[in-house]
A and B are shown apart, each in its own frame.
Chain A
């Protein structure tokens, strides 16, 4: 079976774009990806795409062209982008088609997400009494983790400070002003121990990727990248997830552990092979916990790694080089693909002032979301 290459990447800047729908931002990203691969929409044989709150991706054909291709809408919560990418990957791998697109976009209103208990299979009282908020889950998960593994609030602030610093070097990021560690620590508390600057916000943005059979890649680009592994998992028994009126007393692993292991197995690689990573940072604590859930360190080692600056752009293992969710916001349908986009930019050596030095050759992504789903990828030069 042939490998799968990424030959075109496109993005619509993240943040808030008045006067432009989410779908239009998706079209912008798709056109940018086509231009990057020096191809036409008519070259695309199939597409997968989705958004959580900005309409059906297949409506993009009205703008891109009515070429009659199969364009499949994907709806999988925070893993919508990851699921689109995985679907495109397996479509090419299976030999059904040679060239396709994965696209994700979104546009959310300001403020925290409104949750509908019944849509999540939960009793009405759970939402009515103020227990069904994603922010509470994140606060409670890291609170317990800090207690168990000696992570400090100072390290939570370092994660956010790094995000804004990296984003200040990324023209496509939303929040591009550096914010100092003290400002982050002293900002309004949202859900203890997390302050305002430690959380990402719902936002807008779009990303499109063009994939093809590896044998064809050199026709379109001199620097093809290869998708070596991609896997998706839902929550296993005993994991600690958002919107849980109760939890098992006996604790178990998160869906991230399974998705990460499966991705490495598929790629035939180990953690030591990875040069940089984009890890889901819905808030500062998530990045810290995901460092170990993805197997890049042991529980508790993050404290020293962060204090030593190891995950900064110039550190031993850069994490969230584009500013992550904290500085890009989280347009749900696009968020996972943004991570892949950033890895492609880094592996092409095209990241400008935020370029990771040392000629990185392998990069990892991890997206996580409600109600306990996780998707990972490994890309190589």
Chain B
């Protein structure tokens, strides 16, 4: 799978069986940041893989630029978006995969997943994070 790479550097640990988002923590205030902030007072942290859905919506029309998804307006399928509360850390905005919008519920348990998002012009698959309902 050498033709896959993360959509951005320092975004998540990958490849890994248990990938994690990379954030940072301000050592002076204890506040968490995502994406990670570069600063003398920040240390990089791996964020929790699991959290609860804090709110959600569904993107029902195809976004304009700078969106790089491979769909055409004809075959565009709505996708869900939400914030996942990683307890004691931070709330992260993410696409929600593996769940029908009708089944989304505030408070449901979600976990991180890394999946191919789109191919770049070199034919490499760009990997992006999303959250999915926990399996059990």
Contacts and interface: CB of A to CB of B under 8 A. Distances in A.
Nearest to A113: B64
B88 interface: yes
Given A140-B82, A143-B55, A147-B106, A248 B69 contact: no
Nearest to A139: B57
A191 interface: yes
Contacts of B56: 140, 143, 192
Interface string B85-121: 1111111111100000100001000000000010000
A111 interface: yes
A309 interface: no
A244 B101 CA distance: 22
A191 B58 contact: yes
Contacts of B117: 129
B95 A130 contact: yes
Nearest to B104: A192
A117 B59 contact: no
B55 A128 contact: no
A318 interface: no
Contacts, number: 112
B88 A249 contact: yes
Interface in A189-204: 189-193
B69 A247 contact: no
Nearest to B62: A130
Interface in A141-192: 141, 143-144, 147, 188-192
Contact of B91 (A128, A141, A190, A247): A247
Given A143-B55, A246-B34, A129 B7 contact: yes
B45 interface: no
A294 to B, nearest CB: 22
Interface in B29-69: 31-35, 54-61, 63-69
Contacts of A144: 54-55, 106
A79 B60 CA distance: 28
B64 A114 contact: yes
Contact-residue bracket for chain B:
35 or more
Interface residues of A, number: 36
A246 B92 contact: yes
Contacts of B8: 123-125
Contacts of A53: none
A128 B57 contact: no
A280 B83 CA distance: 24
A116 B57 contact: no
A191 B59 contact: yes
Interface string B64-86: 11111100000000010111011
B83 A130 contact: no
Given A133-B59, A192-B101, A247 B67 contact: no
A249 B93 contact: no
A248 B67 contact: no
B14 to A, nearest CB: 14
Contacts of A246: 23, 32-35, 90-93
A112 B31 CA distance: 33
A131 B90 contact: no
21 contacts: A111-B64, A123-B35, A127-B67, A128-B66, A129-B7, A129-B128, A130-B67, A130-B79, A132-B66, A136-B57, A139-B57, A140-B55, A140-B81, A140-B83, A189-B58, A191-B60, A245-B35, A248-B91, A249-B32, A249-B86, A249-B90
Report, nearest first, the 6 A-B pairs whose CB atoms are least far apart.
A139-B57, A144-B55, A127-B66, A246-B34, A247-B91, A128-B68
